[in-house]
Amino acid sequence: MRLHPVAAALTSAVLLASPLPAASAAPATAEPARATDDPAGYVNPFVGTAPGGTDFGHGGGAGNTFPGATAALGGIQWSPDTVTRQHGGYAYKDNRIRGFSLTHISGAGCSDYGNVPFMPLTGRPDPDPAARHATFSHANEEASPGSYGVRFDNGIRTQISVTQRSGIARFTYPAHDERPAGLTVDAGRAFNKATGKISIGARTLSGYTDSGGFCHSSNRYRLYFHVVFDRPFAHTEPLDGKTSGAYVSFAPGTRTVTARVGVSFVDVAAARRNVTVEQGKRSYDQLHRAARDRWNEWLGRIAVRGGTETQRRVFYTALYHALLHPSAFSDTDGRYRGMDGKVHRTRPGHVQYADFSGWDVYRSQGQLLALIAPHEASDVAQSILNQGRQAGYFDRWTVANGGTRVMVGDPLPAMAASIHAFGGTDFDARGLLRAAVAGRQDDRQRPGHQQYDTLGYIPAGTKGVWGSAATTLEYAIADAALAHLAGRLGDTKTQEALTRAAGNWRNLFNPVSGYIQPRNADGSWPSFSPTQHGEYVEGNAAQYTWLVPHDLPGLFTAMGGTAAATARLDTFFTQLNAGADKPFAYLGNEPSFNIPWAYDYAGRPDRTEDIVRRALTTLFTDRPDGLVGNDDLGEMSSWAVWACLGMYPQVPGSAQLALAGPLFPAATVRRGNGVTLSLLAPDASATNTHVRSLRLNGLPVNGPFLPEGVLTSGGVLHYGMTS
């Protein structure tokens, strides 16, 4: 973005909100961004189900997404599971489906959920459980937001749709097969070890399943379910002689069976009530249309116009994936089972959410949710606080109502602080700040906090800490985010203390090497290589040296100035996705996500524009292999959405947006609270990727940043684009 030079005068003050243009200025007129009335039609849920990048050795080797039916922030994800193991449950290259389970996590690097798979069949189930699968062709499969369908090669067709906490499936059996139409339901099977129990009624199945163990953690959960069929059973029996499963069949000549399923983490009665409240007596077709309409309402909050068909598919697929999690966890009556194992109830009109990939989603997914849905994002922030209070600390990666202690840092309070900055303020922000500050002294929340608080860094080799250098940087980021929150709440004393702690990254910057590197407790520097993995997390020293999003001006000064930093960035982006073994960018994983936008802080927004556009056009596609790494509950996809808009929430806890060039000639962001932000770039194209001028409500924007107040008041951004 070739705007006024900012390199010379750029200091940490750039992190503060700038005043908006004078209200007396003549407002620009926004041209409506008239896009399709059916943005869901551009979504390809299969993106991320085929290998497209790296997976850090966990297995899966893809975006690890799932193609099945779910609602935005839905509590049920009814999706097919292939025989080939993939963390999202579905491997695109496998033509064998072994069941349709009720719960999934999108894009994680480890497996969990996959509970209570349903499998339609004719005749009796194969005596060998490993042989219980059916083949299919992708030509006979379809998936779109809120629904999934497939016809097996044996002629059985399955169609699935959902509401927020329940699902409906229609099974159609082939007329030429004289064997009884039936299905199996197994509460004793999930992606990880599971046990369970099913009670069989005249045409109902209900029970629970116990499972868990995400990333080899000790976390366990109990999921309850209730299923009602539209016709009675002709025959029932325990599956394999166990009460954890059931095989049921229907009267001879049955061709179509509809099943309605509710889930709950509280009890069976709640699961049954969720079905009744959310579905009523609506038919499959009615619920299918309602699911599509609801998704169009969500996706339509960012309406884009122009660009290519492929670009629109990439954009809306990314937005779709970014809105799958966190998952609705409370029931229709507001009850949910907390991190303390007790049943709690939300405020009327609010939802408790679960499944937080904290280390990933604090960077940009939470901010995107708050941008377009501040009410739901407020509930997410309150859910984070509720989890922390009930567990006694803030875990880094939570599944259902338990912590796993997976990954590093202190991300969930930082995520809540960012939600608050982006307008999701309807939660107990002061309570969250108090709990987060107290949790800084908890070994469960912050391993190594004693050294961090006394030395200003975590020494290399500290017991119980994965990656001393990475963890030090993550704690500093979290402290910066909380400092911003404290500032907005008027708590200057806490703000000042946290701001000082946010500068702890400086204690690991070695002026001799020019890198942020591990350090011994006595202050000495151990042997070092820019490509080393030791004391870092899923990355190397060259990549982590840039992980100071809250104080890039300070980092550049330590590096010798903006010119030196720019030269290093140019070398760093010789490759965009080099992996963890090379000293280049690794945009297939979160620690590199903020770095393309660092050029803005060096006065070279034109380079941000180049790198962001190159990443969008080469790393993201609309094919099943269209993700270059784990989607991580929508974090990678959220990066793509922000990049398409030409802006990024670089500073956790702040609503300041670093800018690049927008991909589309027009986009309108409707925040869901009456505020609208319009982006007009009529000359944007594949060649016109640079910003030569930018006006906000008719007044020039001097520098590649949007002030925080824009998100509160909305307005019109008008870009002049050039090649």
DSSP letters spanning 368-411: HHHHH-HHHHHHHHHHHHHHHHHHSS--SEEETTEE---SSS-H
**Whole-prediction pTM:** 0.95
161 CB-side CA count, 13 A: 19
Alpha-carbon distance 35 to 678, whole Å?
Answer: 13
Asked if the model's pLDDT at residue 26 lies above 60, the reply is no
Evaluated on CA atoms 535, 540, 541, 547, the torsion sign reads: negative
Asked if the model's pLDDT at residue 709 lies above 90, the reply is no
The band of 708, judged by pLDDT with boundaries at 50, 70 and 90, is confident
What counts of helices (H) and strands (E) characterise the chain?
A: 17, 33
Q: What is the 3-state secondary structure (H, E, C) of 509-568?
A: EECCCCEECCCCCCCCCCCCCCCCCCCCCCCCHHHHCCCCCCCHHHHHHHHCCHHHHHHH
Asked if the model's pLDDT at residue 110 lies above 90, the reply is yes
Asked if the model's pLDDT at residue 6 lies above 80, the reply is no
Residue-wise pLDDT tens digits, 662-706: 999 999 999 999 999 999 999 999 999 999 999 999 999 989 999
The band of 53, judged by pLDDT with boundaries at 50, 70 and 90, is low
Alpha-carbon distance 687 to 345, whole Å?
Answer: 53
Q: Picking from 14-28, 447-461, 534-548, which range would have the lowest pLDDT averaged per residue?
A: 14-28
Residue-wise pLDDT tens digits, 325-361: 999 999 999 999 999 999 999 999 999 999 999 999 9
Which pLDDT score, from 0 to 100, does residue 618 have? 96
Residue-wise pLDDT tens digits, 185-230: 999 999 999 999 999 999 999 999 999 999 999 999 999 999 999 9
Asked if the model's pLDDT at residue 15 lies above 80, the reply is no
Which pLDDT score, from 0 to 100, does residue 30 have? 42
Report, as an integer, the average pLDDT of 526-536.
98
The band of 36, judged by pLDDT with boundaries at 50, 70 and 90, is confident
Alpha-carbon distance 381 to 216, whole Å?
Answer: 27
The band of 52, judged by pLDDT with boundaries at 50, 70 and 90, is confident
Of the candidates 10, 17, 13, the residue with the CA atom closest to the CA atom of residue 557:
10
Residue-wise pLDDT tens digits, 116-170: 999 999 999 999 999 999 999 999 999 999 999 999 999 999 999 999 999 999 9
Arithmetic mean of pLDDT over the chain? 94
The band of 29, judged by pLDDT with boundaries at 50, 70 and 90, is very low
Which pLDDT score, from 0 to 100, does residue 61 have? 53
- Strand extents, DSSP E, 153-234: 157-162, 166-172, 181-186, 195-200, 204-212, 220-229
Token pair 């030269």 in the structure block, residue: 567
High-pLDDT (> 70) share of the chain, %: 94
Of the candidates 440, 436, 651, the residue with the CA atom closest to the CA atom of residue 548:
651
Of the candidates 109, 94, 264, 113, the residue with the CA atom closest to the CA atom of residue 189:
113
Which pLDDT score, from 0 to 100, does residue 350 have? 98
Report, as an integer, the average pLDDT of 110-115.
98
Report, as an integer, the average pLDDT of 433-440.
98
Asked if the model's pLDDT at residue 3 lies above 50, the reply is no
Residue-wise pLDDT tens digits, 232-289: 999 999 999 999 999 999 999 999 999 999 999 999 999 999 999 999 999 999 999 9
Which pLDDT score, from 0 to 100, does residue 371 have? 98
Which pLDDT score, from 0 to 100, does residue 635 have? 98
Report, as an integer, the average pLDDT of 634-641.
98
SS3 57: coil
The band of 35, judged by pLDDT with boundaries at 50, 70 and 90, is low
Give 711 or 616, the one with higher predicted confidence.
616
